[in-house]
Copies of this chain bind each other. A is one copy, B any other.
Amino acid sequence: MKKKGSGIPKGYSFSTTGAAIKKPGRKDLAVIVSEVPAVMAGCFTTNSVKAAPVRLCMKRIRSGRGQAIIVNSGNANACTGKQGMRDAEEIIYSTSKILGIPPSMFYICSTGVIGTPLPMGRINDALPALAGNRGISSIDDVAEAIMTTDTFPKVLHKRVRVGGKTGLISGICKGAGMIAPDMATLLCFLLTDIAVEQKTIASLLREAVRRTFNRITIDGDMSTNDTVLMMANGLLGNTPITGRSEYLGPFRKALHEVTYGLAKLLVSDGEGATKAIEVCVRGAKTPADAEKAAFSIANSNLVKTAIYGNDANWGRIMAALGYSGTRFREERTDISFNDVKVVKNGLSNDRDREAAEALKSKEIRITVDLHAGRSSAEVLTCDFTEEYVKINAEYRT
């Protein structure tokens, strides 16, 4: 997978600026523009409390088309009532005028503090600079501008060969806190120059989100603003990919790799996290049982503080399995930390010290084999530290 600064899909330009939305001194406003109207798809939070920009995007995405996305960090424009909706519409209207793109082709996303109206004066003042920076800013600048408590910008690119040409999928996202499945608190923008039929891209995006972003949890809190938007502007000039296309497979694979890679970056940058954790549950009776078990472990504060403390405290994993609702028998269960099997047939294998050594790694894999069936599930999460508490106790101060 290509990293930072390695080219972007054809026909996209970027712009960022600082509007002092939460505080001055950083980029917090960004716009992504495609030269030509693009096919679009989106996935949104299932929280019943949805921010104004989410409600606005959910309406527009029905058209399956779009050309620009404006994003701000520092303020979520959530729980802001009718004023919040008017503000989101006003920003779209003003930006669309400056950039010469119809308002109906504009999408808007916000992330940050909930319940405070957007500082419209400062945002309006910043729009000319935003327009002026078009083409000067990079996709990496956008990834930086959408950060909240993230400690690094998250950008990934993946090449795909389609009909003798090489297209590109680029993805950027932000995460860090209020991360739970359905979906992670995240904004994610996926851009490609490969032509894909609208129905196909919508279904591929749903599948990718289900298999990656919906399988991560940082703190179990579900956000009001989660949004994944994907644009395919077709400037590669290939025959649009459909459900029957020979290039469907490679495109799906590349999209999965980008979203999975971003999901891994999200958990490794979870608020206060020092370790990335992959919870793998195998041998479950059904996929739903496997998933319940994996999420129960991945959401347990006690499991996650133990991993932070390099303590192979598998009893907490057993307890989390026990209240997960998954059907299993304690006396058949095996548990490993990385390659060290600490529990065999429900009992201690006397390898806690070895496992404690293994837990000093930055990448932890907890493997649970229930020996109850053939289903499995993986969930990504991170450890749980004092720093998480500190960040979230002081977030608005």
Residues of A within 8 A of B (CB): 46-50, 76, 78-81, 113-116, 177-178, 180, 219-224, 299-302, 305-306, 308-309, 311, 313-316, 318-323, 328, 330-331, 343, 345-348, 384-386, 388-390, 392-397
Contact = CB atoms under 8 A, between A and B. Distances in A.
B178 A115 contact: no
B392 A389 contact: no
A346 B81 contact: yes
Nearest to A222: B323
B47 A223 contact: no
Given A49-B319, A219-B301, 14 more contacts: A48-B321, A48-B322, A79-B315, A79-B318, A79-B346, A113-B315, A114-B318, A115-B314, A115-B343, A178-B319, A301-B301, A302-B392, A309-B395, A311-B395
A285 to B, nearest CB: 13
Contacts of A50: 322
Contact of A396 (B221, B313, B347): B313
A221 B385 contact: no
Of A219, A220, A223, A393, most buried by chain B (CB within 10 Å of CB) is A393
A76 B394 CA distance: 36
Given A48-B323, A219-B302, A308 B393 contact: yes
Nearest to A320: B221
Given A49-B321, A311-B395, A331 B81 contact: yes
A77 B46 CA distance: 41
B319 A221 contact: yes
Contact of A386 (B221, B314, B316, B390): B390
Given A81-B331, A319-B221, A385 B395 contact: no
Given A114-B315, A115-B315, A313-B396, A302 B221 contact: yes
Nearest to A219: B301
Contacts of A315: 76, 78-79, 113-115, 224
A322 to B, nearest CB: 3
A226 B49 CA distance: 35
Contacts of A177: 302
A315 B116 CA distance: 9
A180 B324 CA distance: 13
Contacts of A385: 389, 393
Contacts of A311: 393-397
A395 B313 contact: yes
Contacts of A81: 331, 345-347
Of A48, A389, A397, most buried by chain B (CB within 10 Å of CB) is A389
Contacts of A318: 49, 78-79, 114-115, 224
11 contacts: A48-B328, A76-B315, A79-B343, A113-B315, A114-B316, A115-B347, A221-B302, A224-B322, A301-B392, A386-B389, A386-B390
B306 A393 contact: yes
A78 B343 CA distance: 13
Nearest to A299: B220
Given A76-B315, A389-B384, A395 B306 contact: yes
A348 B49 contact: no
Nearest to A385: B389
Nearest to A300: B221
Closest 10 CB pairs of A and B: A114-B315, A309-B393, A49-B322, A305-B392, A386-B386, A222-B323, A47-B322, A115-B315, A48-B322, A221-B302
A103 to B, nearest CB: 25
